[in-house]
């Protein structure tokens, strides 16, 4: 056949099979002009503007934003917000060419500047469902963006605000709430309350099915409990991370260090934990802690009642060093873990809850020492389940015991 002709459906199906083969898709573009539009659907599905030069290269390749393949983009990462907003202002709405973006990720912390604006991203894509911000801007600017996205389901905020008070917290009130029915992740080095206040102030509330929250002090726990209560009718999975040490952001200059000092309040030694009693639809709770003290976990689990009929699993992840094991052996930490073990057994019997406890270690020697102590730390779980080596998180060996 000198001029074979295949049905359009067959050609499209062939390209669809190559959706994750970028090199093959580029070859398809060279093979036939009629294949270009189909391959663009996958070649430009995810776009990253990490640095200003990435944006310059895009504009040079596609000078006419209206005819660019931005229409095919579903996932957009912006690591240079100043350059993107400047291009948008220069060309009168350049960012709106990405009108079908479903997932947006914006980093403002690398290029902190008071003039950075999120306004160009306000409802730039009517179908946006997932937003992730690694942020150094005032909370009001962040939530003005959130308010503008009516179909937003998943929200992730990691905040590194620099000495900022949110003086204009009352500047705007939305008439309707975004959907907010997926996952909410919050890790704030400033006041967690500023962000939670904004969520609680939404006229329609929120209906998250999963929360991933980090707390550093007792005040954070109060706001975390408010979040749990706020979506108690829909919450199915809760992950709480306890961060007990100071983190120094690599992206800050030395002269900015003093501005961050108030943000690093030490974790309160007072007995406090999150109240789970209202979240009766919970199915899975995950606790992550840097130290092996278990009091706050015990207090949280004691708020589980007979109303939690759907509860299925408790996961506890405790990365630690050999010094931590020596510290708790025979001490207060050991008694806490014995109490936790007893409580887990009770919940297993009353609610048929599966329990998984994971400990990570950096090397084989640490793993061996950990395995020697795990039986004394969690005696009943160790007898009922098995201790297995494996891989966890950062790739180190682990010991795991599971009770069903």
**Is 352 inside a domain boundary?**
yes
Q: Please give the tally of structural domains in the chain.
A: 2
Q: Is residue 94, in this structure, part of any structural domain at all?
A: no
- Measure CA of the first residue to CA of the last residue in the chain; give whole Å: 65
Contact 187, 158 (CB under 8 A): yes
In a domain, 120, yes or no: no
Phi first, then psi: what are they for 386, rounded to 5°?
-130, 150
CA angle at residue 299 from 298 to 303, to 5 degrees?
A: 110
In the chain, pLDDT over 90 holds for what percent of residues? Answer: 30
Q: What is the pLDDT of residues 193-220, one digit of tens each?
A: 888 888 888 888 899 999 999 887 777 8
Residue-level pLDDT at 237: 97
pLDDT range class, residue 364, cuts 50, 70, 90: low
Condensed to tens digits (0 to 9), the pLDDT of residues 321-342 reads 555 555 655 567 777 877 888 8
Residue 383 has pLDDT above 50, yes or no: no
Can you read off the two tokens belonging to residue 151? 């179909």
Please enumerate in sequence order all residues whose Cβ is within 8 A of that of 23, keeping only pairs 6 or more positions apart, or say none.
Answer: none
- pLDDT of 319 reads 65
Residue spans of alpha helices (H) in 32-152: 36-43, 52-61, 81-91, 139-147
297 vs 267, residue with greater confidence: 297
Confidence of residue 308 (pLDDT cuts 50, 70, 90): very high
Give domain status of residue 390, yes or no: yes
228-237 confidence digits (pLDDT tens): 999 999 999 9
Which range among 20-24, 85-89, 303-307 shows the weakest confidence by mean pLDDT? Answer: 20-24
- Is residue 201 a part of any domain in this protein? no
How high is the mean pLDDT of the chain?
A: 76
| pLDDT value of position 202 | 87
What residues does 360 pair with on adjacent strands?
Answer: 398
What would the mean pLDDT of 132-160 be, rounded to a whole number?
Answer: 88
In this prediction, residue 390 has a pLDDT band, given cuts at 50, 70 and 90, of: very low
Helices 36-43 and 8-17: angle between axes, nearest 10 degrees: 20
| Full domain range(s) for residue 34 | 8-43
As a whole number of angstroms, the distance between CA 340 and CA 295 comes to 8
Nearest to 386 by CA among 400, 404, 369, 366: 400
pLDDT confidence bin for 307, thresholds 50/70/90? very high
Rounded Cα–Cα distance for residues 346 and 349 (Å)? 5
From residue 240, how far is each of 207, 237, 288, 304 by CA, in Å? Answer: 18, 10, 6, 15
Would 310 be classed as within a structural domain?
A: yes
Is residue 57 included in any domain, yes or no?
A: no
Q: Is the pLDDT of residue 259 over 70?
A: no
User: Is position 95 within any domain?
Assistant: no
What length does the chain have?
404
């Amino acid at each position: 056949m000198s001029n074979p002709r295949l049905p359009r459906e067959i050609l499209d199906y062939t390209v669809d099979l190559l959706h994750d083969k970028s090199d093959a898709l580029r070859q398809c573009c060279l093979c036939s002009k009629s294949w270009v539009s189909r391959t663009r659907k996958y070649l430009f599905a995810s776009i990253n503007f990490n640095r200003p030069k990435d944006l310059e290269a895009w504009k040079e390749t596609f000078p006419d934003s209206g005819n660019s393949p931005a229409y095919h983009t579903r996932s957009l990462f912006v690591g240079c917000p100043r350059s993107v907003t400047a291009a948008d202002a220069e060309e009168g709405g350049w960012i709106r060419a990405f009108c079908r973006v479903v997932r947006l990720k914006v980093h403002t912390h690398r290029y902190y500047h008071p003039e950075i604006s999120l306004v160009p991203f306000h409802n730039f894509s009517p179908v946006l469902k997932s937003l992730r911000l690694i942020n150094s801007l005032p909370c009001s600017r962040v939530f003005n963006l959130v308010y503008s996205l009516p179909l937003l389901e998943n929200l992730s905020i990691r905040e590194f605000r620099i000495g900022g008070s949110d003086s204009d917290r009352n500047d705007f009130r939305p008439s309707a709430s975004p959907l907010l029915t997926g996952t909410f992740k919050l890790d704030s080095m400033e006041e967690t309350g500023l962000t939670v206040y904004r969520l609680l102030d939404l006229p329609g509330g929120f209906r998250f099915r999963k929360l991933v929250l980090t707390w550093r002090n007792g005040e954070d726990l109060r706001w975390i409990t408010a979040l749990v209560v706020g979506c108690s009718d829909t919450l199915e999975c809760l992950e709480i991370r306890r961060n007990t040490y100071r983190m120094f952001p690599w992206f800050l200059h030395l002269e900015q260090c003093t501005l961050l000092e108030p943000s690093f309040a030490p974790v309160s030694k007072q007995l406090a934990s999150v109240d789970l009693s209202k979240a009766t639809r919970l199915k899975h709770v995950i606790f992550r802690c840097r130290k092996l003290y278990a009091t706050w976990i015990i207090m949280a689990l004691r708020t589980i009642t007979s109303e939690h009929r759907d509860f299925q699993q408790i996961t506890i992840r405790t990365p630690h060093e050999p010094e931590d094991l020596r510290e708790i052996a025979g001490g207060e930490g050991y008694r806490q873990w014995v109490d936790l073990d007893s409580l887990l057994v009770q919940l297993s019997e009353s609610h048929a809850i599966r329990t998984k406890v994971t400990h990570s270690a950096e090397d084989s020697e640490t793993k061996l020492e950990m395995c020697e102590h795990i039986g004394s730390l969690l005696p009943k779980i160790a007898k009922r389940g098995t201790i297995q080596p494996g891989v966890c998180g950062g790739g180190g060996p682990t010991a795991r015991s599971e009770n069903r």
